Amino acid sequence: MKAKDIREKTNEELDLDIEKCRREIFDLRLKFQTNQLEDTSRIRNLRKDVARIETEKTARRESAN
């Protein structure tokens, strides 16, 4: 997910995206532990996406004050 895409979304959409990413990370970690995961880089990419979204949400909160 690109930063540009994140900036265009509403706060509610960002919350849903974070929830979806965290759920997918959880599922991928379970697959990783049972040796069923093929693309291990997906976990890292999702963690970075969550960080990008959280950064944008923080920036929005700070600019609102």
1/49 Cα distance (integer angstroms): 6
Query: pLDDT tens, position by position, for the chain (65 residues)?
Result: 888 999 999 999 999 999 999 999 999 999 999 999 999 999 999 999 999 999 999 999 999 88
Structural domain that includes position 19: 3-64
Short-list 37, 36, 60, 56, CA closest to 48: 56
Give pairs for 4-8: CB < 8 Å, separation 24+. Answer: 6/52, 6/53, 6/56, 7/56
The tally of domains found in the chain comes to 1
In this prediction the pTM is 0.89
Domain of 31: which CATH number? 1.10.287
Short-list 63, 56, 62, CA closest to 6: 56
